[in-house]
Chain A
Amino acid sequence: AQSVSQHNHHVILSEAASLELGCNYSYGGTVNLFWYVQYPGQHLQLLLKYFSGDPLVKGIKGFEAEFIKSKFSFNLRKPSVQWSDTAEYFCAVGGGYNKLIFGAGTRLAVHP
């Protein structure tokens, strides 16, 4: 069965701390991976995506994610978080931008 698992439901960090959010997936066929972010009161926005090529992908606002095929993982990282990174983060997998399967989300709270 196709599924996405996000290990941390709630993460609390201080500013300048490093961030890593875990994402593991189960998916048959060619996999495309996404991280979406939802800031308080706003729409879901694409943070970064992996379709093919370099497994280390860089997204907006200093975020990056690494696709490790052998581990079925696509963890999101940022070396130094800011208060403005407070949001909910969703990992998703799908065939292109078609039927995406989302993880349950991780709420990140960054304290000044």
Chain B
Amino acid sequence: GAVVSQHPSRVICKSGTSVKIECRSLDFQATTMFWYRQFPKQSLMLMATSNEGSKATYEQGVEKDKFLINHASLTLSTLTVTSAHPEDSSFYICSARDGRERGKLFFGSGTQLSVL
């Protein structure tokens, strides 16, 4: 089946640095990718919708200048957490929509970000 690869799986960084998370669809073209954030024991919260070749659409309350999303190709979307703070520590998950299978979603394995 379709696979979405997300890297890194875990990252620890110092406060003030930037971290880039990659999300790749390995065997299908994903015109749309979604980025979620999950706090412990809480729901996956949609952060933004990423469309290839255009600007991402951010959900209310998500700072677009802090969470930079780039979807430069049909198989790659990146999320960059800029000037990370400890409160940005969270689990980030991407998903990609496969246009072939009635838009079925496939999820990455997630990235645990810890900001010290």
Interface residues of chain A, those whose CB is within 8 Å of chain B, are 4, 9, 36, 42-46, 90, 96-105
Contact = CB atoms under 8 A, between A and B. Distances in A.
B19 interface: no
Nearest to A51: B102
Contact of B46 (A9, A46, A100): A100
B42 A104 contact: yes
A64 B4 CA distance: 26
Give the size range of B's interface with the partner: 20 to 34
Given A97-B97, A99-B34, A105 B106 contact: no
- Describe A's contact surface by its main secondary structure: loop
B61 to A, nearest CB: 13
Given A97-B97, A99-B34, A43 B44 contact: no
B103 to A, nearest CB: 4
Interface in B53-102: 93, 95, 97, 102
Contacts of A105: 41, 43
A98 B93 CA distance: 15
A101 B108 contact: no
B107 A44 contact: yes
A98 B51 CA distance: 12
A103 B46 contact: no
Contact of B43 (A43, A98, A102): A102
Given A43-B109, A102-B44, 8 more contacts: A4-B43, A36-B107, A46-B105, A97-B97, A97-B103, A104-B41, A104-B42, A104-B43
Contacts of B20: none
A9 B44 contact: no
B4 A43 contact: yes
B105 A101 contact: no
